[in-house]
Amino acid sequence: MHANPILAELTRGNWLENIYRGAFAVIDGDGRLIASAGDIERAIFPRSAIKSMQALPIFARHAADAFHHTEEELALACASHHGEDAHVTVAAGLLDRLGLSVADLECGAHAPTNAAAREALRASGREPSALHNNCSGKHSGMLSVARAMGVPTAGYVGREHAVQRVVREAVETVIGEPLSEGKCGTDGCSIPTFAAPLRAFAHGFARMATGHGLPADYASAAQRLFDAATSHPHLVAGTGHADTQIMGAFGGRVMQKVGAEGVHCGAIRDKGWGYAIKCDDGNNAASTAMLAGLLLAIADPDAAQTELLKTFASQTIRSVRGADVGVLRVTGAVRT
């Protein structure tokens, strides 16, 4: 097995401190490889990068019609949000319409990721709830699928629950690969996560962007979800996050979603290209530099978009006192 190429590096002072290896693939809707580096056949856990795929049953099982999902709720279903007021409000609103409450969420509670939201919650004397969990939008969407299917909501995170079976079916349909019990784990929010080749996730995002090779209902659902996410980028992540800033800057052209442990998946929608990136050691800052370098190469950014991407492609490292002490940057190995 050959080592993946170095796609990012961190220099401190005048010395190279860290290197970050990884792989990426850019593929069109028909499965043609546009660009790649590293081992794109290695199976990876996509984690939260494929929440838009996991949200497809909202349409396939008619929850969108039964419960009139708003565009904001669809965007939040694709999100790893920061627990800001807008995120909590949208998730709570859908639960209320479903006749459910925060107690029905099985994702667990954690404090808001956003520092201001975290401080405001602490100052109010309230404890974090499952609504603040970055996956509460996805889980609210899954609860709507359970309601629409007429199955119990309790235990909906279980691998054999009807909701997770249809989620697995949706992902398999989109990526064109079986998801094996032999390559399965549990995500941070308690739902199953399955590993598949990096290439397959890039192809899946291209298929969602174009509809190529997808059943008509999945193709239209994918367009609705991508439209919702790119129209409401703040709901997909939050203040200051790369996903929110990038989608906001590209005005609907780019669908971008991060996943834990150095994964990014997305699509250049007007080109019909999907991409997937994995930083081998899971470093989030390094994987973001890789993402920015790739988008600089493939997304035809204008001047403002280029300047934004450059801030992520070359990240200044600062001391506690605020002095510039190093830089984390993408390498020339990220190119097309």
In a domain, 336, yes or no: no
37-48 in b/e form (b: 16+ CB < 10 A) is bbbbebebbbbb
Nearest-angstrom CA–CA distance, 65 and 208: 20
User: Helix (H, G, I), strand (E, B), or coil: what is residue 166?
Assistant: helix
Question: What is the chain's length?
Answer: 336
Residue 336: pLDDT band with limits 50, 70, 90: low
User: Side chain identity at 53, as an amino acid letter?
Assistant: M
In a domain, 45, yes or no: yes
C-alpha distances in Å from residue 16, one per residue of 3, 19, 185, 321, 327: 19, 8, 35, 22, 10
Burial class (CB in 10 A: 0-12, 13-18, 19+), 252: middle
In a domain, 305, yes or no: yes
Instruction: State the total domains in the chain.
Output: 1
CB atoms closer than 10 angstroms to residue 308: 19
Tokens, residue 286: 């390094």
Q: What is the tens place of the pLDDT at every residue in 120-174?
A: 999 999 999 999 999 999 999 999 999 999 999 999 999 999 999 999 999 999 9
- Axis-axis angle for helices 198-210, 162-175 (nearest 10): 90
The alpha-helical segments, DSSP class H, found in 150-215 are 162-175, 198-210
Q: What is the tens place of the pLDDT at every residue in 288-315?
A: 999 999 999 999 999 999 999 999 999 9
Nearest-angstrom CA–CA distance, 145 and 155: 13
Percent pLDDT > 70 in the chain is: 99
238 neighbors 113 (Cβ within 8 angstroms) = yes
Whether the predicted pLDDT of 1 surpasses 80: no
Whether the predicted pLDDT of 335 surpasses 90: no
Specify the CATH number for the domain of residue 201: 3.40.710
In a domain, 1, yes or no: no
User: Side chain identity at 317, as an amino acid letter?
Assistant: I
Q: Name the residue range of residue 145's domain.
A: 6-330
